[in-house]
Structure 1
Amino acid sequence: MIVTILSKMKNYFYISGILALCVLMSFMYVDFFSSMTKVDYIEGSKTLKFTTKMNTNHISDAIKINPNTAAFEAEVKKYVNNNFDVYVNGSPKTVTFTGSQVSGETVWVYFETGGVSDINTLKIKNTILLNAFPKQINLVNIAYKGKQRTMNFQRGKEVNEVSF
């Protein structure tokens, strides 16, 4: 009887150990592909200001240039201009790159669009890193006259629109 109980306990601990190992392995390094953009409306200047946060290695891989080189900012500017479009009330807006900053594992990109008096609808096409990383998710948080909206972008859903 004691041998049977010990045998069952041994099997229980063996199975528990395998399950614990599986759980621990599920927490192993998994690269998370995302960008986050914050959009603020500046009423005094009638401007939408965009601040995008990206992983340095991911954007570097996508544009195929070392982030420590002088040409990196110019390539980031070109990349953002080709992968981020803004439409206010159905009209396309010109996006003006205002700068970028590499801070360790993060690249901050700053751009804006002017001449925005009132927003009824804001449509954005955001394909940042979507071609380079199939599981990329891009979030855009918008603050407009006390209202908050959030957009999500991924492969197959590159365009999103919100109303105010």
Structure 2
Amino acid sequence: MAMIVQIFLIFVTWLAHPFHVSVCDVEFNEKTKSLEISQRIFLDDLEEALRKKSGWTTLDVVNPSDKKRFDALMKEFVIENLSIEINNKPVKLSYLGHELESDAIWCYLEVTGVNNLTTIGVANSVLIDTFPDQVNLIHVKKEGKIRSLKLYRDNAKGSISY
């Protein structure tokens, strides 16, 4: 009986404190000498963060009332919260756009002119100000091999060396 009560309490605690996570995929494209970046963020979490940032009392990320204003807000939000260094030098992220996927949004970015990738540093603070338990997973793919970082409030930056 005690085991059932423990499982019930764990389940109720999990429901009361949902886990917040985003996933950022970075792929080095050697042919185009670029980084192709996509970041997946859950819609409900994003809405809450963007409401805080923008001051909008109502915001529907699925059907925004002002699409141009929303697109500009998304670009600003992603660029402010994601930065990358290649071989210890900061690079400029180009925001390409976003698209909806059921319960999430995918944001697409690119870094051009990457001739060689020996070290990549990533700082990702997406949603960290909104959710103290936010975890941002980073997966970097080079030559078919994937290496990952787990970033969170007290550790929002990491690096991978090849």
Query: TM-score, length-normalised on structure 2?
Result: 0.86
**How far apart, in 2, do the equivalents of 1:103 and 1:150 lie?**
23
Q: What corresponds to 1:134 in structure 2? A: 132
| Structure 1: segments with no counterpart, 5+ residues | 1-15
Please say if 1:21 is aligned against 2:1. no
Q: Distance in 2 between matches of 1:60 and 1:77?
A: 14
Looking at CA atoms only, which structure, 1 or 2, has the larger radius of gyration? 1
Partner of 1:93 in structure 2? 91
RMSD: 1.4
Name the aligned partner's letter for residue 152 of structure 2. Answer: Q
The structure, 1 or 2, with the larger RCO (C-alpha pairs under 8 Å, 6+ apart) is 2
Aligned to 1:66: 60
Q: Tell me how far apart the structure 1 counterparts of residues 146 and 3 of structure 2 sit (CA, whole Å).
A: 43
**1:36-55 to 2 correspondence within 5 Å?**
36-55=23-42
Q: CA deviation at 1:74?
A: 2.1
Say whether 1:160 aligns with 2:158: yes
Shift of 1:146: 3.0
The number of equivalent residue pairs is: 148
What TM-score comes out, normalization by structure 1 length?
0.85
The DSSP-based 3-state class of the residue aligned with 1:111 is strand
Q: Distance in 2 between matches of 1:127 and 1:163?
A: 21
User: CA separation in 2, counterparts of 1:139 and 1:130?
Assistant: 12
**Percent same amino acid at aligned positions?**
24
Gaps of 5+ in 2: 52-58
Deviation at 1:98, TM superposition (A): 0.6
User: Hey, what's the Cα distance between the residues in 2 that align with 1:108 and 1:119?
Assistant: 24
**CA offsets 1:10-47 (integer angstroms, 9 cap, x no match):** xxxxxx1x541331242242411000011111111101
- Check whether the contact 1:66–1:72 (CA below 8 A) recurs between aligned residues: no
How far residue 148 of structure 1 moved from its aligned partner, in angstroms, is 2.0
Partner-residue secondary structure (3-state), 1:27: helix
